[in-house]
Amino acid sequence: MPTMTIDDDCGRHNRFLRALRRQRVDTTPVWVMRQAGRYLPEYRATRQRAGSFMNLCRSPELACEVTLQPVERFELDAAILFSDILTIPDAMGLGLGFVEGEGPRFARPLRTLDAITRLAVPDPEMELRYVPDAVRLIRRELRGRVPLIGFAGSPWTLACYMVEGGPSEGFARIKKLMWDHPEALHHLLGVLTQAVRAYLEAQVRAGAQAIMLFDSWGGVLAPGDYREFSLANLCRLAQGIDRGPEQVPLIVFSRGANGHLEALSQSGADALGIDWTQDLGEARARTDGRVALQGNLDPAAMYASPASLRQQVDLVLRSYGDGPGHVFNLGHGITPDVDPEQMRVLVDAVHQLGRPRDTLA
């Protein structure tokens, strides 16, 4: 392989953005979903000080503090805004709370057609002002060290939580709505698509340098239902969001939707998140260079010995192969009881092993 000349602007401060645009980098960039979270003792201390998870989300100062914690501890190539995908339905009046050991719950889930028709799009600079305020503060405190990622839940995923009332195993309520009253679900998804678009545009205006859509429950749908109720709105967002004069890149992560990679790669997104059940090299072949790929180490590898973790990192990198367009990440979020030192092993391994093959020692 010929020697690769890397431009001077490929350092940590924009390695991630260059990879999303499928440009040359000095080494593979890495960040981790849920990197600001419970596995870090400093996060747990801040969370205790906040008093509740939602207090933490709604305080720009505390959200900034926990966003920066992993970037200050590890050589990560991006920071991600500390928030939650359910802030939009909370602003719509559903009453978001978190139950220890159970996760998010809504006090007023959508259980009638009338409740769906009454929903309105929240103003991100009013009801959700704490989020763009946090973005502005984080950008200032980062001082250009690494880019900041903003994010939102996909319309389908938000609808799942809003109708089910919280996490679900069978998604019976939302699927019943989908089959018995498809027009009502389309109305709900249309309102949510408008809300997500406005929310992400507010984050871009506030300074987010990349944005991400989490379609966490896309994979629970049959192929035809996925195309109609999830993919269609992902495409509308990818093609409709005003991403500012710099056209900040968009990552779409549709977990469990590996059967739709070809369609997702033509959605208008710049990059696709890939979960660990899909071979990265196969995903690259199927998407044919249309998008960058992000992923996709099995999160359970973080419990392996450092030597085994390093080996698993190498396997992911080799699966992607040479050439630009890869952002290393887990195939889902890091879990709370991981030893923080494993994150250091991961980041160091990616940066060492992710260099162009002809430069490896």
Catalytic residue among 43, 161, 199, 226: 161
Q: What is the dihedral of CA 80, 85, 88, 92, to 10 degrees?
A: -150
Residue 84 catalytic? yes
Judge whether 161 counts as a catalytic residue.
yes
The answer to whether 264 and 254 have CB atoms below 8 angstroms apart is yes
The torsion of the CA quartet 309, 315, 321, 323, rounded to 10 degrees, works out to: 0
Residues 6 or more apart from 300 whose CB is under 8 A from it? none
Q: Please say whether the beta carbons of 267 and 252 come within 8 A.
A: yes
Q: Choosing from 38, 108, 286, 344, which is the catalytic residue?
A: 38
How big is the chain, counted in residues?
A: 361
- Determine which one of 21, 24, 44, 84 is catalytic: 84
Active-site pick, 12, 34, 58, 197: 34
> Prior bond to 258 cis, omega within 30?
no
Say which amino acid occupies 343: M
Beta-strand relationship, 103-106 and 96-99? antiparallel
Q: Which of 12, 22, 47, 284 is catalytic?
A: 47
Annotated active-site positions, please?
A: 34, 38, 47, 84, 161
